[in-house]
Amino acid sequence: MVNPLIVMQEAVQLALMGKGYTMTNPNVGAVIVKNGRIIGRGYHTAFGMHHAEIEALKDCSESPEGADLYVTLEPCSSHGKTPPCTDAIIGAGIKRVFIGVVDPNPVNSNKGISKLMDAGLEVFLGYAEDLCAEIIEDFAKFIYTGKPYVTLKAATSIDGKIATANNDSKWISNESSRIYVQYLRSVSDAILVGIDTVMSDNPMLNVRNFSRDKEPLKIVLDTNLKIPIDSNVVNDMGRYLILATSVNDEEKISKLEKFGVRTIVCNKKDGLVDVNDLTDRLIKANILNILVEGGSKVFASFIKEGLVDKLYLFTANKIIGGDGIPLFGSIGVRNMQDAVKCHLVDSKKFEDDTLNVYKFSDYRKNILELTEKYRNRCKIVCSQG
């Protein structure tokens, strides 16, 4: 016999294979088990493509009739970009469905469970729910707030500096840390920096060391549209580049368009691109996961607007001193009670560097509460432990 928790954990690992491709769709994994053997696996591979359950049914090595389906998220019951998964599950003759968490989207929430139960299937709810909720926190934020999930990434000296006084930042962190950053890029929809970073470092902002079918988008905050035409992100990565500006300079925009660059003219706030306005525009383009890589003024803008969900902070055993550039620019805190709060959720070592991961939001809690709410409505009630 299979262990349901182990099977659901495999479904979670499958779901993670879709990170960086599903955009405003949730990451979902599915496994089909029959007579104690796994006969099918699937995951949501890309935005607008078949859902995990359909991929798992297509992957079956034998008929799924009478089998068990393990899926990290409640199957959809409505017709969106694809037909309802519940119809396919019922039509395939699946006998039992093990669900990690309830879908936070009110269009589907509890409706998929109800439809399966009405069709006579046994439904188990709440296996490995912590993991299943964790992998769709970004999707949950989108559902609850209509905003993208924003992650800051920074490397600092032990005295909190991201560069020296003359803007030299290569390299604060070591090579192992920088390789991990490439992984973070590879699972993001977009990488965002300010124009000062482009002017001083002339970065590519591409993904190295990790293969993926497409590059994440590059977003540059360029309030006054001063990006050089010969910069790397324009010349080499222009087709992936979005410039967020507050200047409608038609002549320069036309020149940039020849390199494939897209320009978004945003509102201005405090003399800079209004990041609230920008994120609203990005989510309408189905850009969900944004990795913000600096600099200090850009970090401060997102912090001040309450848009940040997670921070990956790499700390190197180096001291730069008071003339260096601090991690965060001014965010207007005058009293300690107004300081922005976050929670340490993970810590790793990369040789001499330390990575601390902080969370500013916890949409996982919302998903778990919703799952608990509907747990007793299932025919068979089960728990993670």
The catalytic site residues sit at 53
What's the CA gap between 136 and 101, in Å, rounded?
A: 10
CB within 8 Å of 352: residues ≥ 6 apart: 174, 316, 317
CA 94 to chain centroid, in Å, comes to: 31
- Structure token pair of residue 168: 């030299």
Neighbours of 213 (CB within 10 A): 8
**Residue 348 phi, psi (nearest 5):** -140, 160
Adjacent-strand bridge partners of 273: 268
What's the CA gap between 29 and 52, in Å, rounded?
A: 5
Sheet strands side by side (includes 241-245): 262-265, 241-245, 217-221, 190-194, 289-292, 149-156, 308-315, 353-359, 343-350
CB within 8 Å of 355: residues ≥ 6 apart: 177, 180, 312, 313, 314, 315, 346, 347, 348, 349
